[in-house]
Amino acid sequence: MNRCFFFIAFGLASCGAPNQDHSSTQRIAFAINDTTEAAFPIDTVGPNWELVNGGERMVLERVGDGVFLVPVFGGSWTLDSQATVGFWTDSLRSQSYRVDFKIGPNTDLKSEPHPVGTWGARFGGEEEVTAQLVLEPSENGPTGTMRTPTGDYRFLSGTFRSGFLHLQTYDGAHLYCFEAEYRNGGWVNGHFYSGNHYHTTWTASKTKPWDNDPQIIQLNVPSEQLHANILDDYGNPFVLSLEPLTDQVVVVDILGSWCPNCMDEVRLLSELRDSFPDNRLISIAFERDTVPASAQKRLARFRSDMGLDWELFWGGRASKTLAAEAFPFLDKVISFPTTLFIHPNGLVVVHSGFNGPATGDAFLAEKQAFLHHFSND
């Protein structure tokens, strides 16, 4: 299950009480429905807001009177004059879609000791396990993530009280909430919410964790196929050479600016870049915006917010099929992101998916794999 595509219909969401950050005096509570909310600690940082999402902080820049810009994904918060109520507009959806919220005191909701481990998750009554819920030890409430075969749901945090679990996450593009009852070592009567527009059920049973080995295949590609068929700033097709120089690795990042797992992968690429200054780094984005001016505007914002200082091109419409067709040597793209490490001898290492920082050891395995493939040894 590829989070960036299978769950794209799920959109946003969250619920229950967050893993409280006691240094925050306020919180924002998104209204999922009449009885469910997604609440996160927030702080003011000068004129801006800072939201605490599990193991990370997100700064929203004030861009107008009561208007704050969501980083990377380009949505916005709009507050009333008292800064107590407002709504979140998700730029990845229609302008009519919004999630209301309230801002108030950060109440201290205690969490009881919670189960720790890994459970195989089934959604919507299906028999197939399509994800793994991973809960880590924590004194302040359950933390962890929901892993898929090609990525993860990033930082989940929440509470466990009287046998009931509440987990949530907000990355600026998605607002997810998982609720369930713990019974006989597993999770039953589960509900998954994505924003205020999607809901399904889920259950999970104890299982052995997936291994942490990244999904990698190796290809031997003739030099005449080492190129990409992509688009220029005006939407016209052109051919981009991917041939490396001697002692150089060309690293091609196939992504979408709408994809949170891609955001995490770009941050790792930025971290490794300085250690390999002779390598060529290229990002090729497949976007939901199909109008050239709109796509370029979104990519410009993505470049700015991510501090991306390497080549960034528009590949076309967001589609795994179209992404594969852009590269003569690929028969498929399994997920966004996909990373290609192209060596001077024609060896192409294809790395599919990305386990982000919330996955712990799996993320460390990703870092080691990227470090190894960045090298031309």
Q: What is the pTM of this model?
A: 0.91
**pLDDT recorded at residue 12:** 33
The reply to whether 113 and 93 lie within a common domain is: yes
Q: How does residue 92 score in pLDDT terms, banded at 50, 70 and 90?
A: confident
Distance CA 184, CA 201 (A): 18
Give the domain-ending residue among 192, 210, 228.
210
Question: Cα angle vertex 195, ends 358, 92, to 5°?
Answer: 85
Contacts (Cβ under 8 Å, ≥6 apart) of 236: none
Burial of 80 (0-12, 13-18, 19+ CB in 10 A): exposed
Q: Give how many domains the chain has, as a whole number.
A: 2
* Mean of pLDDT values over 204-227: 96
Range of the domain at 92: 1-210
Q: Which pLDDT does position 159 carry in this prediction?
A: 93
Neighbours of 228 (CB within 10 A): 22
- Same domain as 280, residue 183: no
Tell which of 181, 210, 239 closes a domain. 210
- Is 274 found in the same domain as 165? no
pLDDT on residue 23: 63
Cα torsion angle, 128, 131, 137, 140, sign: negative
Lowest mean pLDDT among 22-36, 201-215, 240-254, 281-295: 22-36
Task: Report pLDDT digits (tens) over 221-239.
Answer: 999 999 999 999 999 999 9
Secondary element (H or E) of residue 273: helix 260-273
Q: How far is CA 80 from the centre of its chain?
A: 29
Domain boundary among 210, 245, 264: 210
**Distance separating alpha carbons of residues 60 and 77, to the nearest angstrom:** 8
CA proximity to 99, closest of 226, 193, 19: 193
Question: Which pLDDT value is given to residue 10?
Answer: 33
Regarding whether 72 and 188 lie in a shared domain, the answer is yes
Same domain for 20 and 113, yes or no, is yes
290-298: Cβ within 8 A, 24+ apart? 290/317, 292/231, 292/233, 292/234, 292/235, 296/233, 298/74, 298/257
What digits encode the pLDDT tens for the residues 123-153? Answer: 999 999 999 999 999 988 999 999 999 999 9
User: Do 320 and 274 share a structural domain?
Assistant: yes
Rounded CA-CA distance 313/230 in Å is: 8
Residue 108 confidence (pLDDT): 66
pLDDT band at 336; cut points 50, 70, 90: very high
Element (H, E) at 306: helix 292-306
Which CATH number is 300's domain given? Answer: 3.40.30.10
Same domain for 157 and 192? yes
- State the Cα–Cα distance between residues 39 and 30, nearest whole angstrom: 6
- Do 193 and 309 belong to one domain? no
Whether residue 332 sits in one domain with residue 300: yes
Indicate whether 86 and 126 sit together in one domain.
Answer: yes
Tokens standing for residue 337: 């992101």
**Residue 16 pLDDT class (50, 70, 90 cuts):** very low
Q: What is the DSSP string of 216-252?
A: EEEEE--GGG-EEEEE-TTS-EEEEE-PPPTT--EEE
Q: Are residues 234 and 127 in the same domain?
A: no
SS3 113: coil
Q: Which of 269, 367, 345 is nearest to 309 (CA)?
A: 269
Q: How many CA atoms lie within 13 A of 278 on its CB side?
A: 10
Res 107: pLDDT = 80
Per-residue model confidence as pLDDT tens digits over 22-58: 467 899 999 999 999 999 999 999 999 999 999 899 9
How many of the other CB atoms lie within 10 Å of CB of 11? 21
Domain co-membership, 341 together with 223: yes
